Amino acid sequence: MSFSIQQENTQKEPNLQPTGWFRYFSFSLDHKVIGLQYLVCGFIFYLIGGSLASAIRIELVSPISDFMPREIYNQILTLHGTIMIFLWIVPVVNGAFGNYLIPFYVGARDMAFPRLNAVAFWLIPPAGLMLISSYFINGAAQSGWTAYPPLSITTPAAGQIVWIISVLLLGGSSIFGGINFIATILKLRRPGLKLMQLPMYCWAMLGTSILVVLSTPVLAGTLILLSFDIVAHTGFFNPALGGNVIVYQHLFWFYSHPAVYIMVLPAFGLVSEILPIHSRKPLFGYTTMVYSIMGIVVLGLIVWAHHMFTSGTPPWMRLFFTIATAFIAVPTGIKFFNWVATLWGGRISINSAILFSCGFIVNFVLGGITGVALAQVPFDVHVHDTYFVVAHFHYIVYGGSVFVIFSSIYHWYPKFTGKMLNEKLGKLHFIITFIGFNLCFAPQHWLGLNGMPRRVAEYDPQFALVNQISSIGALLMALSTLPFLFNVIYSAIKGEEAGDNPWQALTPEWLTSSPPPVENWVGEAPLVTKPYGYGEEEHKNDEPTNNELQSL
């Protein structure tokens, strides 16, 4: 909260905002700068987390633990999970695109609390650096991104405490972000813009932010108790003192199941923006999309214990959580069919953005189906803590959220920079990523069904061949980063000029220059009450420029 008085100084100030690339390293309050800071910072952590993943897959090429000691394997596994979730996907699908797009979508010149916004971003780099540095100082945490006690209490304390502090900082960052998004969407809307006229991404972010505000604090409280157990030897989760590790699991998953929707709901929103533009059709079923987001929010909050079917949950609990979990397939299915219906019969341009979005749809369906399967207790008891679960959630978080992040970068890069990305490199990127991803994770279903446990550096030799296939897939995924990196850097310098609206889009961020001016619009913000009017009379003949059109 700032306690400052409002200054009634309407005189135009000279614009002292640093211009050029340097402003991206400064403490700026401009939501667009903060959004790109989130994006670039998140991508750097993605590269780090990806290198760690490669190290894991190299270790697993052979059944014995030969590439690194087992403690190091556990540390790298823990860092990988923590970085990917808390420093890459969550900050990017929420912080980066939310900050960049939402003020445009509600017709505002900035977020509701610009200072809080900058604080939320600047919590991230120090938290990330601290987390990684713990690896070099005293050994990083070893207990996985879930930090289950008693392991997290009994392994060396220093790394675990650093882990807790950085997750607390990152949690604080996302709570501040969530508050800001809710206030911006509900309170800063341009007069005349109704809620049911907002672009879908706003709804997705509203739902996500509600989840953030309701569930992240519970994780924070839990981790504070855990740190007491480690530092002050209290007994919350220590069975020796009468504590209960199952209570930790309940509290942890009360946050971490919603967390999967914190990673994937914004991705739903982004896809809902991208598909209509590149298929020149209105988003199918706007109202049902809105209700299904809110349905997912409500159901997402009450299904956490499906992660605990093997923790001695009583039968009534298993029944309740199975049914509730299975119900999420309904709103999710609605969204899936709406996306397909949006594409159906559209004039689809086959470009990198839509390829990644379609890749998302395909992967997400598979991840969703294995999710419904996992919700069935007998099946879950069989595959719990095996590679089947690893495959399931990577289909969701990588095949879902990460594919959408790439799709969104291809889609909004012209707005960010004023330049187009190279389409050939983009398609190459997509093909290698898609093949690499499926080669890496599809075989893991088989590994899990046949009993290979997760989080191990050594395994039964019968799994060697399939693990090697999986590692080749991982290698391809690592390689796929190269054309992408080259593309974003090269195109920023040498790319062809994009113009203000290369996709002939109708959403408000395209109705200003690329890149947009400070305060988003020169003059009044446009009032866009029909963000998906494609194909209607007045827009019949809009043709995207720079775009290979192909009728389906």
Residues near ligand HEM (CB under 6 A) are 146, 260-261, 263-264, 306-307, 325, 328-329, 332, 368, 371-372, 374-375, 380, 384, 389, 392-393, 396-397
Backbone angles phi, psi at 453, to 5 degrees: -70, 155
Looking at beta carbons, which residue is closest to ligand HEM? 371
DSSP state letter for 60 = T
Least separation in angstroms between CB 531 and ligand HEM: 25
Assess 526 for contact with other proteins (CB under 8 A): no
Instruction: Pick from 247, 341, 456, 475 the residue near other proteins by CB under 8 A.
Output: 247
Toward other proteins, which CB reaches closer, 502 or 508? 508
CA distance 74 to 5: 52
244 interface partner picked from Cu ion, ligand HEM, other proteins, none, CB below 5 to 8 A per type = other proteins
Assess 493 for contact with other proteins (CB under 8 A): no
Least separation in angstroms between CB 236 and other proteins: 6
Assess 362 for contact with other proteins (CB under 8 A): no
Using the contact rule CB under 8 A, the part of the chain among 27-35, 269-277, 486-494, 499-507 near other proteins is 27-35
Assess 284 for contact with other proteins (CB under 8 A): no
Provide the sign of the torsion angle of the four alpha carbons 72, 77, 80, 81, taken in this order. negative
User: Which residues lie closer than 8 Å to 78 by C-beta, 6 or more apart?
Assistant: 140, 141, 142, 143, 144, 145, 163
Backbone angles phi, psi at 146, to 5 degrees: -85, -20
How many C-alpha atoms does 408 have within 13 Å on its Cβ side? 26
CA distance 91 to 495: 27
Distance of CA 509 to the CA centre of its chain: 21
Assess 20 for contact with other proteins (CB under 8 A): no
168 to 207: interface string for other proteins, x by CB under 8 A? -------x--xxx-xx--xxx-xx----------------
Toward other proteins, which CB reaches closer, 27 or 344? 27
The CA radius of gyration of the chain, in Å to the nearest whole number, is: 23
Provide the sign of the torsion angle of the four alpha carbons 224, 228, 229, 230, taken in this order. positive
By the 8 A CB rule, do 209 and 136 touch?
Answer: no
Toward other proteins, which CB reaches closer, 243 or 300? 243
Toward other proteins, which CB reaches closer, 250 or 382? 250
Least separation in angstroms between CB 193 and other proteins: 12
By the 8 A CB rule, do 402 and 441 touch?
Answer: no
Least separation in angstroms between CB 251 and Cu ion: 14
Nearest to 36 by CA among 416, 321, 447, 377: 416
Least separation in angstroms between CB 195 and ligand HEM: 24
Written as six digits, the tokens of 248 are 């930790």
Written as six digits, the tokens of 507 are 């959403």
Cα–Cα distances in angstroms (integers) from residue 221 to residues 177, 216, 275, 291, in the given order: 18, 9, 39, 31
Binding site for Cu ion (CB under 5 A): 257
Binding site for other proteins (CB under 8 A): 1, 3, 5-7, 9-10, 13-18, 25-30, 108-110, 112-116, 175, 178-180, 182-183, 186-188, 190-191, 213-218, 220-222, 225, 228, 232-236, 241-244, 247, 250-251, 254, 518-519
